Structure 1
C-alpha cells in the first residue's frame, strides 16, 4: 500500500509591506499569479487531495486562497503551527500525526524544510532527474509529489518515498521564472 504526499511551497511573498513579524508577510502580485497557475496545473493534471495540512502564516493562507481558485477546488486546511519554518524532522512528525483515513495529503509550508523533506523521503539513487531539479532549487510555489511506500502515516521515515512530480511556476509560465532571467 502507498500513501501520496504533495508538498507545496508558499508563493512569493512581499517584502515591501511593513509588517511587524515575518509570519504576517502577504503575497506579492507575482506570488498570487504563481499560486493561481499552480492550481490550474493541478486541476488539468487531475491531482487530488483528501486532506490539507498547512502553516498558518499569512503567505501560506493567501497561497492556498489563490491555488483553490485555479484548481476550482474546495479545501478545509488543518492549520498546524508546527509547519511554520519547520525543519524536515518536525515536518515528519506532523506527517506521522496524520490519520490513516487520509491517503492523499497536501502539505503547504516553507523552505528549507520542504526541500529537506523531499531529500529525506526520496533516496538519492541517481535515477531521478526530478530529484536533481529539487536539488537545483525548490522555488516559491513549486509542487513536489511523491508516493510513499507505507500503509500508515505513523510509519513515515527516511527513504520511503519516490518522487513522481516536481513542477515549478516557471515551467508553466516563463514570466514566473527567476527575476534575474
Structure 2
C-alpha cells in the first residue's frame, strides 16, 4: 500500500489537466494488460497513455492516462508483507471486521492523505463497497473533495489484493466535477468496470 500512497501524494494534483484533442467515439478499443501484477482493463484507442514517471518520482505507477476532458486514470501496484488464500479468507469468521479495517486503512492512507496533499478543504466519503471477485479481495471507494475556491474533485478507486499473492493493485480515477464531463461519463464508467484480474471476466466491456 505504501507505494500507492507515495504515488498519489506525488502525482494526483499535478495531473488535473486537460489535453487538446476532442474525444471522438471511434469504436476502437485498446486493452492494457499487466502480466507482472495480473490485471487488465480497456479504454478507447484514441486516448493515448502518458509516459510513466522517472524512477524514484512515481515508483509503483504502472499506467497513466489523461482523457480529453481532464479526467486522470492511474494504476499503481505494490508489494504486501503477506498473502491470504481464498479458502482462508472465506473461512474467516471475522471476515467483515477484516474488510472494515481494510476500508478504514485505505481511506486513511490513500484518500484522506490525498485530499490533504492537494489542498482540499474537506473530503466526503460517498460510497464503500466490496466488489465481487473470484481472484482476490476487491474494494471500491468513492470520495468527493471540496476546495476553498468552490471547485470539487471526485476521487474514486478500485483496490484489489489477489489471493495467494503478496501484491496490491489500485486503479484510481480523478475527475474534476465539471458539466463538460457528461460527454465522457458513460465511457469512463465502462473503463472503470472493465478493470479485472486476469483469469476473471470484467463486469463490463467497452
What is the TM-score when the length of structure 1 is the normalising length?
Answer: 0.27
Q: Which has the higher strand share?
A: 2
Greater share of residues in helix:
1
Bigger radius of gyration, 1 or 2? 2
User: Which of 1 and 2 has higher RCO (CA within 8 Å, sep 6+)?
Assistant: 1
- TM-score when normalising by structure 2: 0.25
